[in-house]
Chain A
């Protein structure tokens, strides 16, 4: 349920699952671009088309030219998809004017097909593994390799400027090819990726001389002992955003300081935990124009005692008059918290989710954050801390409360009390992720009524199948109220003790729900059936450890082509049930896998992962994946 930081920015809003607008059927039914060649400029009247149906002369060409000019302004994927379905000439015009390509599932379409249709793309986003891979529910080497995409794009889009990847496997070689192939490359955003190391980073930063953005978020980077910071060009850079807070390797601080000094456009800087507060000071002094800052450790460097180095941190923060987004605090030394007071009243986003602080320690900070819209925090602040948030942060749109102790049977410092307080105080709330050990239906119902703007509701009661701890009842009514009252809800994650009734509510009222996450819930096939039959907009469904079987699976046949994927692990499915789907829906790729390698082939499998695709079975499956493919 944990997700990438959705600090509002152009790159990460593309990544956010909630923002997704995947076109329903165009990839399936849309025609492969015809073999007509076309005059690129499109300005001159005479087309070079040699198609058979080119019967209408000049006026059509004018229309197409006009169309292209108009379509340039169309940015929404959904709108573009609709435009492309009008007729062939609109299809062509749209294809030529699409400059941003979004691939929601890297296996739904091949690089060859995508680059053949869209020939003038400057920015590409690709998403790979399903989200449950983040929680070790999928063995490594499942797939989602960037390599075939990079090689196709290297030939098709030499002018590529921007690449955003989420949950993709990226190697150093891929990065080297990227750096070689795209002379004007400007932005690299890697979210939840892995497979490469500092060597790959080094090549990118040294060869991509136009680089503006290098954002690594929750991405694993291997320590190859390469000093990648040194590899930036010696001259002034175009850097606007450098985020490497997730990189666990030590960095060359002197080189970083010089880099910041020669990057006058730098607005966003997120440091990793190996940067001490003293070093942070030096960087802030050089870059008071920053709008987004990740503070690194916010602690002294090793071997230093407090008092060794008394820098004026308060002034450094005060000088950053444009600072609106603050994060980091990886190893926070509490004495230094007051340093951030000068910026609190301007902050729209604050991420304290690495800082194990109490309510008392939070209050002096949060009481100044009147403009805060996004707040990530640990449950160490307890219900009392959440009350303090509710008192001050009237503009809050997004809240995430993470557990310090992510275990099922731990003491829970936050509960329904905190949730209810938030619902009372933060009426504009749109997105919430809340980990707790105890919850009540009453609090959830209260939130459903107070926070009518909710788009994302993710509640994780950490003990599996826990009922309402006051009434002992299932949490059905609470979640039911959410789908009933929050009319804009598109993303939902459920937990606690839930019967099929909860799912009947979701199916009945969750008409806009696109993403649904279910774990240890439900009684029978009916539960899943309700959802598949009722949630017409459902795109992404991930289910684990719930008693849904083949009958339920079959009840979604009418809808699977409209979905991006379905994940079901440790449920009550059988191989036969999955085969039935594979036979009925030939354009669906039905993958079954075992989580433990080396188990014998048999009827058992752990996970079903299925998704629509234009390409049929992929050719890079690892040994533990089997694709159910009806015989030819």
Chain B
């Protein structure tokens, strides 16, 4: 039943193909998760009680990041001002608030100033105002500085460098203090629907399922949290958002979302090299002119001389031999960069996908029973490289619209409420203004001139026309369609890790603190278990082994005979979502593992 429903949710064009794929038997048997191998007719589940405990809230928010918490706080502010009781529940898959948060980050405090104007008095961890802003184009051995003038999108005067995980933790404390119910360690794994098809709420993950898909002694069903309005704030490429977009055709009028993968490290460096408030960005080397991406290096103002360094590679890259992780490691060895890290100590590593589709890729935001906020909808301003303030603002606007309908006692209780005013409010806000004016910057990289075309376009049009030019460029299709077959591409010679400035993958994954209960079905599910070897490996030489920043995917030789098989090291997963985005056959479907699992980021 569940499998059939899932198939019906798939894009109609490939629906028949998927149906055929699913029900044809496969030689490889990798996936055991119940979303692919349903439990309904599984004899091992025959006598298991599948009833779920149900509870009712006014609003349920899926995801406790900047957007989700801003929405929760705004809702409570409205409820308190109007003397109304409102039960607001936030479910968050990380075991602690901020545990799965990863971002550069250099933020505009615009939304925070509106939400909590006295954030400074309340101890908000924004301690690094931007003092210095540098931008450069790197060549293999050189560095060409590019001046940043006021008016350019990356002009950061007035902004703050922040450890976003700490900001999220602080927002969580503010929320709890207001009486909002926060439930870290519990993942929303299923969307629930009323009879009329509107969203009724969510169900949290079941626990105690063994790796082979059978129930363990400690098996317990998740619970159902029903709400009048459910707000989805899952972050970039949310797995429930993926289902909702299909079910409610939210992407009919929008371009497919376009993404990047951002890898990040935090270093303790030599105090002599440390300059709190310095913000540096580069483009160019080590990426070629046709691969979009670049680096960031931010000097924090904390008790120890910390810097946050990272690298973004757009996921519309064409060469399957590209490894975003190794590009990042290579970047740090550039002559103008390496000196910062010499004598320093790496103390953290992580990665997360981010959205780059901007204005063209914003889906319809509301549907019966709920709405999408934050990066799961996709409000990141690419030339500014900022999405936190727009995510928070979207949360606040959604809250205002949701409050109106939820607080109204005359609204029906047997169907989910749609906060229709949210989308219009967002269109009239600075979020849309910014995204509209920046809309042509990212697609301007898609010409044969690549990076140089993009820089020229940004220089000419963005600065002069500020996005007022009458045309809107397209991203040209989804990221996963852009990968070229391996035979048409050259493998990339990456340098070996030196263990001092550059590191190997597994050593880095250990720093994420990621862990999952080992005895559970792999949450990286394959719709067809044979496709990895027959398609990904055969045509693209197994790109997932290179784009996964946590070493989840490994092609290993078969125990007997010739050939390879895909080994999924699900425990390594750091929930970045890159595989679900970039898999050329869209065969990998990331679902949420048992709550509490995943990375244990501290102020990332």
Same complex for A and B? Answer no
Residues of B within 8 A of A (CB): none
Residues of A within 8 A of B (CB): none
